[in-house]
C-alpha cells in the first residue's frame, strides 16, 4: 500500500517532463517554484492516508461488533486483527517521513537530525510490507484449512494459534533486522520514491534485496 501511494502521486503530479534532444528536467517539489506540485502531493497523500485509516477502523468496528449476527470465530478475528495492525504500521512512515519531508526545504538546517528518522522509518516500511504479506498468507491458510481440510483446523485453535502469530511477528522482525543491517533505505522526497543502498551486501544478500 505504501509503495502504491508514491506511484499514484508520481502519476498525478508528473515529476518530470521531456524536452527535445532527450533532455529531461526533473522537478524537485522542495523548490519554491513548485509549490503547486508540493501541495497536490500533500493533498493526495493525506486523502489516501485517511482512506486507509478509515477503512481499517471500520473493519475493527465490524470485527468487535456485539450484534448476534456476528459469527466470526475467535481465530479468524485474531488473525484479521494482525492484518489490520500491519496495515496501520504502513501509515507510520507516511506520517513521520513522507509528509514532513515534502514540507521541508532544500536548505533545511535540521537535515542531519532527520536523516536517522528517515532511515529508521524507511526500514520500518519493509517491516510493514512483510508483516502484511505474512499475515495475509496465514489468514488464507486458516480459511483454506477451515473449508477444505476441517480436520486439521486444530492447528489454528487454542494456544497453537498464539504460537503461530508470535512466530510470524518474530520472522518479520528477523527479516527486517537483516534488511536494516545490509541495506540503507531512505525516502527521496524530490521524486517521491524509496531508495535502498545495499553496497555492503554480496551474493545471496544482493539476491534477497532484489526480491524485497
User: What are the boundaries of each domain within the chain?
Assistant: 35-211
At 2, which helix (H) or strand (E)? Answer: helix 2-13
Q: Please provide the CATH number assigned to the domain covering 35-211.
A: 1.20.1070.10
With a cut of 70, list the residues of the chain below it in pLDDT: 1-34, 66-70, 105-114, 190-191, 199-212
Which residues, including other chains, have CB under 8 Å from residue 29's CB and lie 6 or more apart?
13, 15, 37, 38, 41, 102, 189, 190, 192
CA pair distance 10, 14, nearest whole angstrom: 6
What is the pTM (predicted TM-score) of this model? Answer: 0.75
pLDDT at 174: 93
Amino acid at each position: 500500500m505504501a509503495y502504491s501511494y508514491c506511484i499514484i502521486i508520481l502519476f498525478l503530479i508528473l515529476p518530470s517532463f521531456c524536452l527535445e534532444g532527450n533532455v529531461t528536467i526533473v522537478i524537485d517539489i522542495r523548490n519554491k517554484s513548485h509549490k503547486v506540485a508540493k501541495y497536490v502531493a500533500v493533498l493526495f497523500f493525506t486523502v489516501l492516508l485517511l482512506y486507509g485509516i478509515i477503512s481499517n477502523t471500520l473493519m475493527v468496528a465490524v470485527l468487535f461488533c456485539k450484534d448476534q449476527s456476528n459469527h466470526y470465530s475467535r481465530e479468524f478475528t485474531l488473525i484479521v486483527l494482525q492484518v489490520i495492525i500491519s496495515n496501520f504500521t504502513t501509515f507510520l512512515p507516511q506520517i513521520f517521513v513522507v509528509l514532513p519531508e515534502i514540507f521541508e526545504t532544500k536548505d533545511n538546517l535540521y537535515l542531519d537530525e532527520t536523516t536517522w528518522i528517515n532511515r529508521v522509518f524507511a526500514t520500518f516500511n519493509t517491516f510493514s510490507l512483510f508483516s502484511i504479506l505474512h499475515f495475509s498468507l496465514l489468514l488464507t491458510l486458516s480459511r483454506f484449512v477451515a473449508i477444505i481440510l476441517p480436520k486439521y483446523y486444530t492447528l489454528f485453535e487454542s494456544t497453537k494459534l498464539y504460537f503461530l502469530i508470535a512466530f510470524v511477528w518474530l520472522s518479520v522482525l528477523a527479516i527486517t533486522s537483516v534488511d536494516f543491517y545490509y541495506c540503507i533505505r531512505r525516502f527521496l522526497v524530490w521524486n517521491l520514491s524509496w531508495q535502498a543502498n545495499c553496497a555492503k551486501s554480496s551474493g545471496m544478500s544482493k539476491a534477497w534485496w532484489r526480491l524485497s
